[in-house]
Amino acid sequence: MTVHETILEMGRKAVIASRALARLTNEQKSKALRAMADGIHARREGIKSANAIDMEEGKKKGLSGALLDRLLLTDSRIDAMVKGVREVADLHDPVGQILEEKARPNGLHIKKVRVPIGVIAVVYEARPNVTADAASLCIKSGNAIILRGGSESIRSNEAIADALQFGGERHGLPDSALQLVRVTDREAVRELAQLEGIVDLIIPRGGEGLIRAVADVARVPVIKHYKGVCHVFVDESADVEMAVAISENAKCQRPGVCNAMETLLVHSAVAGRFLPAAASVLQRKGVELRGDDAARAIVPSMKRATEEDWFAEYLDLILAVRVVPDVRAAIDHINMYGSHHSDSIVTASVENGEKFVEEVDSAAVYVNASTRFTDGAAFGLGAEMGISTDKLHARGPMGIDELTTYKYVIHGSGQIRE
């Protein structure tokens, strides 16, 4: 079979599975999910062996240490995967929820009802745990899922997918509810992204390169975020101690993630007090600072920032620093250079806080808190499928509700249009 035929056949099977999934009760889905978690637990040794081969090949291929770390499955990571699937089993069932209900003057009764999206494709790289995370969220929300992981983790993904299927299909999971694409060719991604009328949504998860590769060829809807260039703006009236703590947390607590701060903006009136204190804390944590002239005049040890630094997603212990004249300039900088992900203002001014949250065009806008909170768990959505910086359908963390759509159900007694 060609790649096209293989993917098309998987798509068609997924459509059939999606119809069966849409009709499962919450209890049936939870039972299947718990069996899937048990499946991973039961096949732990096989998963570790498969992962060992991926790791060995990865080392031979010269994958970076960071990539190898993402690829590695330890017992505690497998435990976390099992726990994650069980937690998804216990989430509320979004399907069937009535979002709106009304009676029209002509007697029609209209309900807007939450239903699964149908078939969701997830394209990811490195981390094999996405196989279990994404599959469990899709199934809990009544969707069939087609998974396509990276070639570097193919054996680990196969072992996990097999374990999930083994567990699930013996406990009510429809055939083909979860399928793993075993073709590691990039062509498979293109085929998936162009399966209009079959794949209802494709979600790329990984680096910007992967996400662009999907978005560039997609004919089906994509939900994505390219990158997270997040800002903290320290306003004139900021509590300096709070601003230092938030800056340190947003930059250092986990620098490699999309909601970490990449650029620090500072009101000129507070820069003289704030910047030395912040620089001292950040530099002690090993952060390389790259400032504009005004910032370097206050903290001369900073490197000089270039225009490129304002666009940069370092995902590392590097921070761009800019002094701005007011909240207006901070908002304009963020809307121009940012990635519409997560941005925060530290201020004692209610007015400036309101202005900032109104005008910064980002998925999550904070007043007096770290940008690091933008995720499903911190927002109380449970596990998340990813974070969207798109504006359509889902923005910010995507939980199971965001993996659903709705239909209108209208009951009448013979009404016709006049």
- Among residues 147 and 246, whose Cβ is nearest to a copy of itself? 246
CB-nearer residue toward a copy of itself: 61 or 212? 212
CB of 203 to a copy of itself, least distance (A): 11
Long-range residue pairs from 356-359, CB within 8 A, at least 24 positions apart, any chain: 356/233, 356/327, 356/330, 356/331, 359/331, 359/335
Q: Are 117 and 143 in contact (CB under 8 A)?
A: yes
User: 148: how many CB neighbours lie within 10 A of its CB?
Assistant: 26
Please state the closest distance from residue 173 (CB atom) to a copy of itself, in A. 19
Q: Which residues make up the interface to a copy of itself (CB under 8 A)?
A: 19, 22-23, 102, 104, 108, 110, 117-118, 200-201, 215-216, 219, 221, 223, 239, 242, 245-246, 248-250, 253-254, 335, 353, 357-359, 361-370, 372-374, 378-380, 390-393, 395-396, 405-417
Structural tokens at position 356: 């900032």
Q: Which is nearer to a copy of itself, 76 or 413 (CB)?
A: 413
Nearest to 284 by CA among 250, 329, 252, 326: 252
Shortest Cβ 308–a copy of itself spacing (Å) = 17
Between 160 and 244, whose beta carbon lies closer to a copy of itself?
Answer: 244
How many angstroms separate the Cα of 301 from the Cα of each of 276, 298, 304?
Answer: 10, 9, 9
202, 20 contact by CB (below 8 A): no
> Which tokens sit at 298?
């206050």
141/156 with CB nearer a copy of itself: 141
Closest distance between a copy of itself and the C-beta of residue 80, in Å? 17
CB of 329 to a copy of itself, least distance (A): 14
Q: How far is the CB of 261 from a copy of itself (least distance, A)?
A: 11
Q: Which amino acid is at 29?
A: K
Rounded distance between C-alpha atoms, residue 22 and residue 229, angstroms = 37
Of residues 45 and 101, the one with the C-beta less far from a copy of itself: 101
Torsion of CA 189, 194, 200, 202, to 10 degrees: 30
Which CB atom, from 33 or from 120, has the smaller least distance to a copy of itself? Answer: 120
Which residues have a Cβ under 8 Å from the Cβ of 354 and sit 6 or more positions away? none
Least distance (Å) from a copy of itself to the CB of residue 172?
Answer: 18
